[in-house]
Amino acid sequence: MRRLVFFIVLMASLSVSAQEGRFELTPTVGYRWGGSVVLEENAFQPGVYDVDLATNGELGFRLGFLMTPALELELMFSWQDTEFKDNKGLFGEEPAGFIPAEATGVLDTDVTTWQLGLVWHLMEGPTRPYVVIAAGQSKIDSKTPLPDETALTYGLGVGVKMELSSRLGFLLEARFNRTETDENNSALLEWEHRDCTGTCSYVYRYDDSLSQGSLVAGLIISF
């Protein structure tokens, strides 16, 4: 990942001095799906479970600098307000009364991502298909007992930009993001209950990665 970031910055430094740049600001809306965490239960439903994040909307923006007609340096920010899909009550919201208060949690979770990327326009003209590679960080901020996580993330996307006028355009993009989460970042909760064999326990933890896809649309403002 360090090599990828170095490559992006190097391309920018080589190109920016020789070109007349133009900026693009693009507010975006879209949907993001995918991503899960691991819950190890030794209580009422013993086992190891994957708990998924719900598909939900995202908001964001892009700030791009056109170094050449083909290459653009882009800063991307996005925010997803989602929650864990917990149909088994694994976070303690059901059944109430069996699990101690410290083991229960609201399932609301925010995923905030920023990335620095290099956009390569495959052709010139009013319609410009492109590919993008990017690297940055994602922060997973959950109201469940799961610890917050901030980790390296990288993305790969394809999209198209369509000119509406000299100052306005439309963007449509699909992107895959992979976040290198730490499986040692976990929370252990233990309590006594007559229906448990030994000590009841929950271990909430991240897997070694969290993968998400997104589909976004945006209004491009050139200046």
Say if 191 falls within a structural domain: yes
What is the 3 state secondary structure string of 8-37? Answer: HHHHHHHHHCCCCCEEEEEEEEEEEECCEE
Assigned token pair, 81: 């307000």
| CATH code where residue 100 lies | 2.40.160.20
pLDDT digits (tens, 9 = 90+) for 72-102: 999 999 999 999 998 777 787 654 445 555 5
- What pLDDT was estimated at residue 175? 98
User: For residue 186, what are the domain limits?
Assistant: 2-19+29-222
SS3 at position 6: helix
The span from the CA of 192 to the CA of 199, in Å, is 5
pTM here is 0.84
Considering the domain boundaries, does residue 142 fall inside one?
yes
10 by DSSP, 3-state: which? helix
Q: How far is CA 90 from CA 38, 94, 105, in A?
A: 10, 8, 10
- Count: domains in the chain: 1
From CA 205, how far away is CA 185, in angstroms rounded?
6
Q: Is residue 24 situated within a structural domain?
A: no
Is 111 within the bounds of a domain? yes
92: burial class by Cβ within 10 Å (0-12, 13-18, 19+)?
A: buried
149-188: pLDDT as tens digits: 999 999 999 999 999 999 999 999 999 999 999 999 999 9
Please indicate, yes or no, if residue 64 is contained in any of the structural domains.
Answer: yes
Look at residue 60 and tell me if it is in a domain.
Answer: yes
pLDDT at residue 152 in the model = 98
| Spatial separation of the C-alpha atoms in residues 70 and 53, rounded to whole Å | 36
Q: Which of 202, 186, 187 is nearest to 99 (CA)?
A: 202
Instruction: Tell me, yes or no, whether 11 lies in a domain.
Output: yes
